Amino acid sequence: MKTGTFFQRGWDFLKRRKRVILALAVLCVAVYSAGVWIAEKYTYYVSGMWEWEVKDFSGNKPYFALLAENLYGYFEEEQENNSELASMRIVSLGDKWQFYNSYNGAGETTERVVDMTEEERASLDKVDAALHHKYAGFDQIVIYPDRVTFVTVYDYGVIWSRNGEKPTFYFSPEEKGDFYVTRLSFFSNKWYQCRLH
């Protein structure tokens, strides 16, 4: 076998297949360009979301669910009393809940302070630990019709969608910025994680 023949045959092959090679080169450049664009547009937010991602959601889901359902009960109760209720913001005061209600056409008003149950206190501790990242984490709970958002200081949140619809905003429908949302569970369309940038 001659070594010169091997290289010569390779060169002849390239000459005959110029169009195929050119098409493959153009395709590779197009795929690479699309990959770079996707990486710039989405990778930061999606991979950045995982930095703040809730820890062991499947193990902590019962605690999130207990808080979401109990606190949504307060929202429904207030909505029965005043149909203009738009949203409710809830802050933990240790062993009590502080409720701030927002009404359509009016500003936010401090409504009331309510004692936590033992189950809520224990669940809040688990949720706080699950959402903790570096120096801080869980901040407050925001409720809108058919959804409860567990808000963190890092603009990352866990959302319980009562009706199963994919959330379209993080904290408020008027917020500005890019909003990224994914399901937390493959088998459930009620739990989502989101990131606002």
Could you write out the DSSP letters of every residue in 129-182?
HHH-BTTB-EEEEEEETTEEEEEETTSEEEEEETT-PPPS-SS-TT--S-EEEE
**What does the pLDDT read at residue 44?**
45
3 versus 25: the higher-pLDDT residue is: 25
37 versus 118: the higher-pLDDT residue is: 118
Residues 9-41 have pLDDT tens digits of: 777 777 777 777 778 888 889 988 887 766 555
In this prediction, what percent of the chain has a pLDDT beyond 90? 34
Mean pLDDT, all residues of the chain: 83
**What does the pLDDT read at residue 52?**
64
54: exposed, middle or buried (Cβ count in 10 Å: 0-12, 13-18, 19+): buried
145 versus 154: the higher-pLDDT residue is: 145
